[in-house]
Amino acid sequence: MPNFTPSISTKSTRLFSPFLLISIFIVAACSIFYELLVSTVTTYLLGSSILHFSLTIGFFMSFMGLGAYLSRFIKKELLYYFIVIEIILGLAGGASCFLLHSFFAFTDSFYILTFLLVAALGTLVGLELPLLTRIIKSFSNLRETLAKVLAFDYLGALLASILFPIIFLPFLGTMRTAFVIGLINLLIASVSILLLGKQILHAKKLLFFSLLCSGLLIAGLLYSTNLQLFFEKNLYQDEVIYLEQSKYQKIVLTRYKQDIRLYLNNHLQFSSIDEYRYHEPLVHVPLVCNPWIRKVLILGGGDGLAAKELLKNPRIDSIYLVDIDEKVTQLCKNHVLVKQINRGALENPKVKIIHKDAFKFIEETETFFDLIIADLPDPSEPSVAKLYTLEFYMLIKRVLSNKGIFVTQATSPYYAPLAFWCIQRTLQSVFDATLPYHTYVPSFGSWGFILASNSTEIKKRLEQIVTLEVEKYFSKIPTQYIKPPIWSSFFTFPQDMKIEDIDNLTVNNLDKMKLVEYYAQSWRRWNP
């Protein structure tokens, strides 16, 4: 009969048995951390969070199954093989984010190499639990062993799923989190050797390699900021002058000569050299259409640039700015270079900043607004696309004043026409009057907006949009881009920005999120 476990003394058993149960708890947490880290980094680099989280978790669990199957071929020296696996897993898992950034920056085979990394991590994790179960079985009967192993395994997974988004990601970021979790795996290996050194094959060599790998990960942890900046420079090309990971997104500020750019999860939010071409049409078109606007709500817009444009108009009494990420508003309120761009708008006493999910705020507020501006990210993910749904627009309609106007950025009518006209179609199902318009922003290309209202008077003004008193308005409001001669061009769409039949598009709602599909389908033409 094979010798499944080494002979362990009674004294060692008293120490080692509880340690093994704790190890199960910890390695289960570590495995969830690795899944979340790979999913998060691939999402940051490539977008499509649902796709990458689903693929990562699916492949990871499949290879865990492979690892569990392969464990049947390990028939003796279980502790030795468990420690070897912990050392390899600690090094590979700890370096996982470093490797992912390297794959993206320096190779053209990101998906293949990421798949191989997931395969390796999943297989190693899959080997751990069966080996630990068989080792613990030597201390108790099978029924008790399985109950304890599964209980500690599930609890460890729960702990990791809570700690990752609340503590590790916002305070450490992805790369430092990976190094820390890798060190935890190596700590388990080292403690196992110290507890049962004499009874483990090649104990001294294993301890040496465990400490060596720990030293490498500690060095990576100490220099993680420099490593992150190195990869960000390769990713953004321009000088990275600010880098932070919030609980919601990665925030990067870059500079090239006079051009300051803000990126959230690698997506450009504004360029200082042409942001006015985006924000002036977003803000001033509804202000021209409605001379009664006093109270304004901005959803998103944490950079303060929409607020800057609103503050040019003296009739604006108050601005509520709702942005979910406090780190973004703090940066744009306090960073000297961003303050120069938004002219300190976020410090203006007329501006009230609220850190809350836009959907939740609209659900709960009892305040009515004359103008609501949705300056939100593109609807590439369901978490954002919910703010472009029928249900959300119905909530918007509820909190608009009698002559209120709602305006939203609506992606590019040139690059993503299906998405743009889907938003128009969805707004038409809620509001009596809508007005799509577009402009050209060099950093983004052709970009679109849609204005909506249920006021009969506003509807008449929208129908006469070209003949409104544009010259009078812009003679009093300083703008860099919008002037009366170009006003009518905003509302004329060339043929290549149109689609054959808007009525055939599906209204975007919370149940199907068709807009996400339209958005991906449109952009796939440009990024095959």
Write out the catalytic residue numbers: 375
Q: How many helices (H) and strands (E) does the chain have?
A: 20, 11
Three-class DSSP category at 1: coil
Q: How far is residue 504 from each of residues 129, 457, 499, measured CA to CA in Å? A: 52, 29, 10
- Where do the H-state alpha helices sit in 290-398? 305-310, 326-334, 336-342, 358-364, 382-385, 390-398
Are 488 and 349 in contact by the 8 Å Cβ rule? The answer is: no
Q: Taking Cα atoms as reference points, which of 8, 9, 133, 121 lies closest to residue 71?
A: 133
Instruction: Please give the Cα distance from 239 to 260 (Å, whole number).
Output: 10
Q: Taking Cα atoms as reference points, which of 126, 99, 132 lies closest to residue 18?
A: 132
Residues 6+ away with beta carbon under 8 Å from 261? 236, 238, 253, 254, 255, 268, 269, 270, 271, 272, 443
Place of tokens 């990713």: 235
Are 389 and 510 in contact by the 8 Å Cβ rule? The answer is: yes
Q: Taking Cα atoms as reference points, which of 504, 80, 441, 456 lies closest to residue 277?
A: 441
Are 423 and 384 in contact by the 8 Å Cβ rule? The answer is: no
Provide the β-strand partners of residue 259: 256
CA angle at 485 for the pair 484 and 489, rounded to the nearest 5°: 100
| Strand blocks (E) in 144-301 | 239-245, 250-256, 259-264, 267-271, 295-300
DSSP states of 432-481: SEEEEEEEEETTTEEEEEEEEE--HHHHHHHHTGGGS-HHHHHHHS--SS
Three-class DSSP category at 493: coil
Instruction: Please give the Cα distance from 186 to 30 (Å, whole number).
Output: 11
Are 50 and 381 in contact by the 8 Å Cβ rule? The answer is: yes
Dihedral (Cα; 444, 373, 422, 42), 10-degree rounding: 50
Instruction: Please give the Cα distance from 474 to 440 (Å, whole number).
Output: 19
Three-class DSSP category at 69: helix
Q: Taking Cα atoms as reference points, which of 448, 402, 383, 395 lies closest to residue 422?
A: 448
Copy the structure tokens of residue 240. 């990275």
Are 60 and 118 in contact by the 8 Å Cβ rule? The answer is: yes
